[in-house]
């Protein structure tokens, strides 16, 4: 794509994690919003665990354990990213990671029985209040809460 066509192409963004809701959002995107002329931005943030409480004598030991946990989370995130990229490739979706404006955002409603519903609501509220592009809110499948 040349510079002119890349500026006029539609760019969508999906923020994803390991949740079923993220998988539903990607499948919804594939079935409803994906088009050959669109670019999909895959957005993933590595989840870091809370730093455990420690005494000064335990600091080095705790930090060594924490580094192992962080590395494990980074490895899991890379596996997840690879899975999502394979899904995009399999469905002929053009994707990449760029720092650029998007033309729409796709988010999924959270399972109301999930313990993450509370924080997800805050994130969705923030996105809706600050987005300058359309936000597609994907319903939980068939309103059945597994």
- Strand partners of residue 95: 40
pLDDT of residue 103: 74
pLDDT for residue 145: 47
Using DSSP's 3-state secondary structure scheme, residue 115 falls into: coil
pLDDT for the residue 7: 52
User: Residue ranges per domain, the chain?
Assistant: 11-138
Q: What dihedral angle (degrees, nearest 10) is formed by the CA atoms of 125, 127, 128, 129? A: 80
Tell me the pTM: 0.59
List C-alpha distances in Å: 9 to 16, 39, 134. Answer: 22, 7, 15
Q: Does domain 11-138 have CATH number 3.40.50.620?
A: yes
| Residuewise pLDDT in 10s, the chain (146 residues) | 444 444 557 888 888 888 888 888 899 999 999 988 888 888 876 766 777 777 888 888 888 888 888 888 888 888 988 898 899 999 999 887 544 456 778 887 776 666 655 555 666 776 777 777 788 888 777 655 44
List the strands of the sheet with 39-43, edge to edge.
Answer: 95-96, 39-43, 11-15, 104-108, 135-138
What 3-state DSSP class applies to 109? coil
């Amino acid at each position: 794509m040349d510079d002119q066509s890349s500026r006029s192409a539609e760019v969508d963004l999906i923020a994803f994690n390991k949740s079923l809701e993220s998988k539903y959002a990607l499948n919804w995107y594939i079935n409803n919003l994906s088009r050959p002329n669109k670019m999909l931005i895959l957005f993933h943030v590595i989840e870091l665990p809370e730093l455990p409480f420690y005494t000064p004598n335990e600091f080095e030991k705790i930090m060594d354990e924490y580094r192992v946990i962080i590395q494990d989370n980074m490895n899991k995130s890379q596996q997840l990213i690879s899975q999502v990229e394979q899904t995009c490739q399999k469905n002929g979706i053009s994707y990449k990671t760029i720092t650029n404006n998007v033309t729409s955002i796709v988010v999924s409603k959270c399972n109301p029985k999930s313990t993450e519903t509370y924080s997800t609501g805050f994130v969705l509220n923030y996105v809706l209040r600050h987005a300058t592009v359309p936000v597609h809110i994907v319903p939980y499948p068939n309103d059945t809460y597994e």
